[in-house]
Structure 1
């Protein structure tokens, strides 16, 4: 792991039945909007293998402030990302787990 990735975040989104692919499409747009963002080392969008309506995003950042600022800017400046649309797809509130990265393989 390089010195640039110091914190991590795991987000879990549970879409309403049958809306997992729609949610993935929007989360991939968010990922594209973050390309080149200061502090972003990783923004990986995945679906659970056994639960197609559960979407997880694994993130690595230099700090949580950079993460929050980059995500807010991306959502606010991209007309193809509608936060209300995302919230309407969810069956329950998203789960956020913040992590202090300690080492490992990658990044």
Structure 2
């Protein structure tokens, strides 16, 4: 499994809008093959900072979600980018396991 931690900072006062758009993305990913976790969190100390925690079965699943026509009628990447005051920060992870993940995929 692979993971990603994304940190996005909205223009001042627009963190709620950013979180709402990302929650719409999360709803569209519900049941998408290979998407194990797509969690949206707002920073408790800075409401304009939103984090996305992703876990995918593999990199191919994550790429497929970005290219899926079934997700095309949801929020576009441009909708997210328009709300950001800075470029998003991304950290790639090798997921080892944990609560909420399929047991058969954990070491």
TM range (shorter): 0.7 to 0.9
What SS class does the counterpart of residue 7 from structure 2 fall into?
Answer: strand
Instruction: Please tell me whether residue 15 in structure 1 is matched to residue 18 in structure 2.
Output: no
Contact 1:75 1:81 in 2 (8 A): no
Deviations 1:18-71 (A, max 9, x none): 010000110001001101111000000000100100000001111122112213
Would the aligned equivalents of 2:28 and 2:71 in 1 still touch at CA under 8 Å? Answer: no
Consecutive aligned runs of 4 or more in structure 1 exceeding 4 Å deviation: none
Q: Does 1:28 align with 2:19?
A: no
Determine helix, strand or coil for the equivalent of 1:93: coil
Mark the CA change 1:34 to 1:93 in structure 2 (over 3 Å): closer, same or farther.
same
Query: TM-score, normalization: structure 1?
Result: 0.85
1:45 to 34, 40, 45: 40
Question: Which residue, out of 67, 75, 78, partners 1:81?
Answer: 75
* Equivalent in the alignment of 2:66: 71
- 8 Å CA contact 1:8–1:98 kept in 2: the answer is yes
Q: What RMSD in Å do the two structures reach over aligned CA positions?
A: 1.7
5+ long unaligned stretches in structure 1? 1-5
CA distance in 1, matches of 2:93, 2:58: 10
What's the CA shift for 1:90? 0.3
Gaps of 5+ in 2: 102-107
Say how many residue pairs are matched.
101
TM-score by length of 2: 0.85
